[in-house]
Amino acid sequence: QCVLAGKWTNDLGSNMTINPMSSKCNFDGSYNTSVSDTSNKITESPLVGSQNCTNQPWPVFGFTVNWDFADSVSVFTGQCFVDEEGKEILKTTWLQRLHVDSIKDDWKATRVGFNNFTRLLSKE
């Protein structure tokens, strides 16, 4: 069984926290990216999402991050897996929409990428 709630880190060193799921399979949390193409100071940004409400052991999910420090929004979709060693992995695909000043620049406004997240273990 894979549970989304908790603290996660990805292959770029970005961290996110997903709060416990609501009864309707919605969640919120925060995302602290380690990468940015803006000169603005990176700040933690809110995320909101939902998980498919079936009782599958490896749930599918999606969430949106509204970047507090940049004029852009990202959406992530993915699935939670548990590997052979029992390690939880979130396999995600994302789209980032950047602000552009005219419709002529729309062609360069959307980026796509992939990230794998693993659970951050507490240092107790």
Is residue 22 in some structural domain?
Answer: yes
**22/124: higher pLDDT:** 22
Phi, psi of 106 (to 5 degrees): -55, -35
Domain contains 124:
no
Place of tokens 């809110």: 46
pTM comes to: 0.87
Asked if the structure places residue 114 within a domain, the reply is yes
Cα angle for residues 64, 9, 61 (degrees, 5° grid): 40
Q: Is residue 1 part of a domain?
A: no
Residue written as tokens 């695909």?
93
Cα dihedral across residues 64, 10, 110, 51: positive or negative: negative
Q: Facing residues of 45 across strands? A: 31
What is the C-alpha separation between 44 and 94, in angstroms, rounded? 18
Domain extent at residue 104: 6-119
Interval 55-97: pLDDT, tens:
777 889 999 999 887 888 999 999 999 989 989 999 999 999 9
Q: Domain for residue 99, yes or no?
A: yes
**Number of domains the chain contains:** 1
CATH number at residue 57: 2.40.128.30
| C-alpha span between 45 and 60 (Å, rounded) | 22
Look over the chain and give the mean of its residue pLDDT values, rounded to a whole number: 89
Residue 43 lies in a domain: yes
